[in-house]
A and B are shown apart, each in its own frame.
Chain A
């Protein structure tokens, strides 16, 4: 059995940022990684994916973008190289190809079992990712035979799909990006649209992420928002990273011929049934986008930048089809493939500590898990709105490493339990 003060589970951006912060505090630790550094980016992403945040925005503790295209968007190879360089630069003590099989509490600390040995640690940081398992709705079981289905984790590029129509279920970042790519491959896409968050790629001469960063939206804290549950489950922004910085919203998709339908609400007698709420889903997203732009406009006015940037404007409301179809016959061949872009959830099946709530979430306050000495990193709105981004890991790791250090200090002052 090996010993470490802290075991970090996962060597993605969150685990590495925490490793760097612990090293700064001279806290000895090990980073256990089931694959290699940046494993999910290497093995679970489609070919054309690029980060939806600009290069400048991935600021990790002691590390950042060093190239000459700060406003560009990393492709997967660049994202992987970026994280590998970081791991090297900070000399992160990564144990690769080491899959954690259980974590349980043992006298004042944790026993971490893996397929390559067991560690004892005072503290454990869960940085195993927010997107381990694709969420597929239960009604998928009702699909008629002969329809090819896949999740975004299985999807690589349109060539792996049969010819013919594709229904993409879900219109957040994943659904809109993949939907656009598949439609352009000559497979007509029907996009099933539920609740979504519409934003333009650029506004008033800058990237939307630049404005959200600058005006403080991304720094909003978990203990300051009105409805934290809601903030943690809000869908991802309809954004894509591309060289032409194009906006991939529903209007852009309609323009190239993608057919919009309501949320997939049922499958009956071989027919997909769609909710009649599409107009309101779009109205909600348009209103929410306008509130974000209002906030940016206010910030620009207060900062006295009104004359320095292009004038305020608004985007065309989402063009909702006059009478979107309420059902679609899946049996007669117009749809050959269904892609479930219906979200992801973390996998805590290896965590044998009673800190999971009835909805499968870890109970925590800003990453400080209910069980003493256990910490969480890298999930949406962990401590800030930006916690879901690579860019959010720096502040979260600084805060949580400070908490972890004071937890260790307190433990040293109080005699350890026998």
Chain B
């Protein structure tokens, strides 16, 4: 059913992805994943998040190792700047998700990538988070992602890969669509 060109090697295991897609079409119950992160306050605005376990394919899964992310606010916010601002982590998540998609879609389409660079800019009016003006939202007023891609493909084909990557991106979806968020205290 799938006609693939295997000439390109972007290091993505496309066969495994396609197998998973076919398998999950038959067994949608295995497709339910739960992603998790734990966050611990250190001091001031500094916190440390870790990820290790998640649930998927019907059972508990583990990352190969625990990953840690430091988050803080910069010195202009009178903080100690021990890590990225949380909003920067969101931008990094978006860029990583889209870039993973670019590599996968390119490989699926037989396009060899040589270099892929994304820059992400998120505009924000901080009067929102400071509570200066209730008409100003807390979040980004817009996000711009700019790709520079060197690949064996026409500019149109590259644009199509980037567009398809957005169509299949979880973080892009999470940012562009509303999501119900429940925060509880035990």
Is B134 at the interface (CB under 8 A from chain A)? no
Residues of A within 8 A of B3 (CB): 226
A287 touches B166 (CB 8 A): no
Q: Please classify the interface of chain A as helix (H, G, I), strand (E, B), loop, or mixed, using the class held by over half of its residues.
A: mixed
Contact size class for A?
Answer: 10 to 19
Whole-angstrom CA separation of A266 from B180 in the bound complex: 10
**How distant is A309 from chain B, measured CB to nearest CB, in Å?**
22
With beta carbons under 8 angstroms apart, the residue of A228, A268, A277 that contacts B176 is A277
With beta carbons under 8 angstroms apart, the residue of A266, A283, A323, A358 that contacts B177 is A266
State which of B71-79, B113-121, B124-132, B156-164 sits at the interface with chain A.
B156-164
Residues of A within 8 A of B2 (CB): 226
Residues of B within 8 A of A358 (CB): 28
With beta carbons under 8 angstroms apart, the residue of B160, B166, B178 that contacts A273 is B178
**How distant is A65 from chain B, measured CB to nearest CB, in Å?**
37
Q: Please classify the interface of chain B as helix (H, G, I), strand (E, B), loop, or mixed, using the class held by over half of its residues.
A: helix
Q: A273-B178, A275-B177, A323-B142 are in contact. Are A280 and B159 (CB under 8 A)?
A: no
Whole-angstrom CA separation of A275 from B177 in the bound complex: 5
**How distant is A265 from chain B, measured CB to nearest CB, in Å?**
5
Is B1 at the interface (CB under 8 A from chain A)? yes
The B139-186 residues at the A interface (CB cut-off 8 A) are: 141-142, 156, 159-160, 163-164, 166-167, 172-173, 175-178
A290 touches B178 (CB 8 A): no
A-B residue pair count with CB separations less than 8 angstroms: 41
Is A152 at the interface (CB under 8 A from chain B)? no
With beta carbons under 8 angstroms apart, the residue of A275, A276, A287, A323 that contacts B163 is A287
Whole-angstrom CA separation of A268 from B173 in the bound complex: 18
**How distant is A305 from chain B, measured CB to nearest CB, in Å?**
23
Q: A226-B3, A280-B166 are in contact. Are A275 and B176 (CB under 8 A)?
A: yes
Is A284 at the interface (CB under 8 A from chain B)? yes
Whole-angstrom CA separation of A287 from B105 in the bound complex: 15
A290 touches B176 (CB 8 A): no
- 1/0 contact string of A273-306 vs chain B (CB within 8 Å): 1011100100110010011000000000000000
**How distant is A78 from chain B, measured CB to nearest CB, in Å?**
39
**How distant is A318 from chain B, measured CB to nearest CB, in Å?**
12
Residues of A within 8 A of B178 (CB): 265-266, 268, 273
Residues of A within 8 A of B142 (CB): 323
The A200-249 residues at the B interface (CB cut-off 8 A) are: 226, 228
Residues of A within 8 A of B177 (CB): 265-266, 273, 275-277
Whole-angstrom CA separation of A197 from B124 in the bound complex: 33
> Chain A interface (Cβ within 8 Å of chain B)?
226, 228, 262, 265-266, 268, 273, 275-277, 280, 283-284, 287, 290-291, 323, 358
Q: A273-B177, A276-B177, A277-B166 are in contact. List 12 more A-B contacts (CB 8 A).
A: A226-B1, A226-B2, A226-B3, A265-B178, A266-B177, A268-B178, A275-B177, A277-B173, A280-B166, A284-B163, A287-B156, A290-B156
12 contacts between A and B (CB under 8 A): A262-B176, A265-B177, A275-B176, A275-B177, A276-B175, A277-B177, A280-B163, A280-B166, A284-B163, A284-B167, A290-B156, A323-B141
The 9 tightest CB contacts between A and B, nearest first, are A276-B176, A266-B178, A280-B166, A265-B177, A277-B176, A287-B160, A283-B163, A284-B163, A275-B176
